[in-house]
Chain A
Amino acid sequence: MITAESLTKTYGSTTAVDDVSFTAEPGRVTGFLGPNGAGKSTTMRMAMGLDRPTHGSITVNGRRLAEHRAPLREVGAVLDAGATHPGRTGRQHLRVLAATHGISRRRVDDVIDLTGMESAATKRIAGYSLGMNQRLGIAAALLGDPATLIFDEPVNGLDPEGVRWVRQMVRQLAAEGRTVFISSHLMAEMAQTADHLVVLGRGRVLADMPIQDLIDASGEARVLVRSQDASTLMNALSAQDVTLVARDAETFEVTGLDARTVGRRAQEVGAVLHELTPLQSSLEDSYMKLTDHAVQYRSGAATADVASTGPSAAAPEGVR
């Protein structure tokens, strides 16, 4: 369990984290979402006692980390993949950490197994790939079998296999009753792993809610349809609770029907389909709307572009 209360961190005149309060509960994955520079890493660093809060507090399992008698058994963290000495081997790095708590060498070998880094364990960290560094970081975090885990952008630099592995592991850690606190600036990533979201923008909490609430709030799912008989199909689909938004001559978006229904209707009217894609962007849109005013490093055109795909900004060419 991680509890932040009025947590604030200022660097000179810059406020990185501004009066942030939230709780990451055990048994679920709490996603910590926000654009770059929102204060996610700073918050996590304060949880780990690396940075000192300017005021307020953040505790792990009820206490500041330094007050725990066995910190490694309370919380494990992967804050950045480079927190190792390149001259040591992976196994040496883990053994050094284990030695501080008298954790057995067997446990070191266990976490090496667990993270699939047997082949690299005897090599110097200097030669590790980014992915192997992430695995080593995760192995170190798991060393004390802690009740709370903190991961800062854990899938950065991982190949698709590694991304899938991290997602599954994160889900499983939460299923075992642990508190998992994981940051990302990608909504899509969070949608696949998190149960609960804390959204941060410019150092402030913008949203703190179950991910399902955010999905519900973002309205119905949409389907992208590409058909050479687009207008025929659009006519066939139009109904009371269905919104149709044309994108071009052959492409339109459907809100209010699922892909299955659209496909069946297309067969009925004999329309040839080129594409039928459920759109996930609705969740992304909610996130975008939330953080719209809180993006620190805005790239004007790109942001506008993404926003225009949102339902609110869609071209009003819908056929009802």
Chain B
Amino acid sequence: MTPQTADDRLNTSSMDSPGTGPGPVAATGSPAASATSSVEGRLSFARALRAELMKIRVLRSSWWLSAIALVLVVGFTGLTLLSFNAMRSMQEQGMPDGAQMPEQSDADLMRQLLTNGTGGLAFAGILLGCVGIIAISSEFGTGSIRSSANAVPRRGLFAAAKLTAVAITAAVVGAVLIIASTAIILAFAAGEGLLGAADSGEVWQSALTNWLSMIIVTLLACGLGLLLRSTAGAIVTLTMFLFVVQIALGILSGMTQNAEFVEFLATWEFGNLLSSLTQLREPTGEAYDLSVSTGTAIVGLLAWLAAVIVPATVLFQKRDV
């Protein structure tokens, strides 16, 4: 076959192709040979954010992880209430060996209920963290980042929209989890006649600090995903932030007979700041108590977030995708 002339080729292109033939490629009304887009719309942060929220929403894994988090949190609350009942009956009837449980005031019991009953939220934080990680690492893993970059080529804007979408998701799911567990605890307390002893300030403090901690963990996770671009790598690093460093420093502290620098690290590591944030009692200042005040914890956690997210975003802007 000899190569076609330009005219021949134009003729073929206007031929009808059955079934899948191209209709007019532009939207109807697009003027030929002027080639300006007939489609309305322009890129903005709000729109990029909407798209990012949509991405999280249409993925099954987000729903699965959130559902598991809910089951975990509610289950944890249920277990706490069961053990609380057992403890109460022991307080009233004495322990099987005849010893007496120490008496606790109703206010102490209520605080204990709140603290232990919301304990599952720490684990839910990991699951929400995974939602945050997958939201970004799956873009790299599947190559969909290249489609995303066609639509949102400004990397800073993309990262900001992604992180905001992840934070909103964590805020919504986190709120559901906290409301569910707190409602169960309060209903139980009402049944036990403890509701009167509840300090509403503490209930709010518990709810808000737990909510904040879940958003912070999810943002940290997403930042790690952006930095490492690998789901597995980011999840491992997240668990190091949440647990492993704490345990390692504990061991190191024993080995060095509580050296000052180990204590310093153990105070300011992410996991300790996170548990300081959600604890209801004030730090005692005693040697074994490494917790810091709520305000200090928030500042420290924000510093950790910046330490991960700022380099992640800077690198993301420089790297090839």
User: Is there contact, CB below 8 Å, between A85 and B139?
Assistant: yes
When C-beta atoms are compared, the residue in chain B nearest to A101 turns out to be B41
| Alpha-carbon separation in the docked complex, A92 to B9 (Å) | 35
Return the CB mask of B3-46 against A: 1 if under 8 Å, else 0: 11010011011110101111101110010111111111111100
Contact (Cβ within 8 A) A195 B41: no
* B12:A171 contact, CB within 8 angstroms: yes
- Name the B residues within 8 Å of A71 (CB-CB): 43, 150-153
Tell me the nearest residue of chain A to B155, going by C-beta: A66
Interface size of A by CB at 8 A reads 82
Whether a CB of chain A sits under 8 angstroms from the CB of B147 is yes
In B188-238, the 8 Å CB interface with A consists of: none
Asked, given contacts A27-B33, A101-B41, whether A84 binds B143 with beta carbons under 8 Å apart, the answer is yes
State whether the Cβ of B51 lies closer than 8 Å to any Cβ in chain A.
Answer: yes
Instruction: Give Cα A104 to B144, complex, Å.
Output: 21
- In the complex, how many angstroms separate the beta carbon of A217 from the nearest chain B beta carbon? 13
Highest count of chain B CB atoms <10 Å: which of A45, A142, A177? A177
Task: Tell me what chain B mostly uses at the interface: helix, strand, loop, or mixed.
Answer: loop
Determine the residue in chain B with the shortest Cβ distance to A136.
B147
Closest to B1 in A: A280
Given A144-B41, A146-B37, A177-B34, residue A48 in contact with residue B149 (CB < 8 A)? yes
In the bound complex, do residue A176 and residue B33 qualify as a contact, i.e. CB atoms below 8 Å apart?
yes
A residues lining the B interface (CB < 8 Å): 26-27, 45, 48-52, 65-66, 68-77, 79-80, 82-89, 92-93, 95-104, 107, 110, 113-116, 140-147, 161-162, 164-165, 167-169, 171-173, 175-179, 191-193, 195, 211-212, 215, 221, 278, 280, 283
Are the CB atoms of A100 and B3 closer together than 8 Å? no
> Among the listed B21, B30, B47, B138, which residue makes an inter-chain contact with A165, where contact means beta carbons less than 8 Å apart?
B21
Q: Do B39 and A144 have beta carbons less than 8 Å apart?
A: yes
Inside 8 A of A98's CB, which chain B residues have their CB? 41
Contact check, B25 vs A85: say whether CB atoms are below 8 A apart: no
Point out the residue from B10, B138, B139, B150 that lies within 8 Å of A171, measured CB to CB.
Answer: B10
From B22, B38, B39, B41, residue with most partner A Cβ within 10 Å? B39
Chain B positions within 8 Å of A96 at CB level? 51, 54-55, 58
Q: List 30 A-B contacts (CB under 8 A).
A: A69-B42, A70-B41, A72-B43, A72-B150, A76-B150, A79-B146, A84-B142, A84-B147, A85-B144, A87-B138, A93-B147, A100-B50, A100-B152, A101-B47, A102-B41, A103-B40, A107-B27, A116-B20, A142-B25, A144-B37, A164-B17, A165-B21, A167-B12, A167-B13, A171-B9, A172-B14, A191-B4, A192-B9, A215-B3, A283-B3
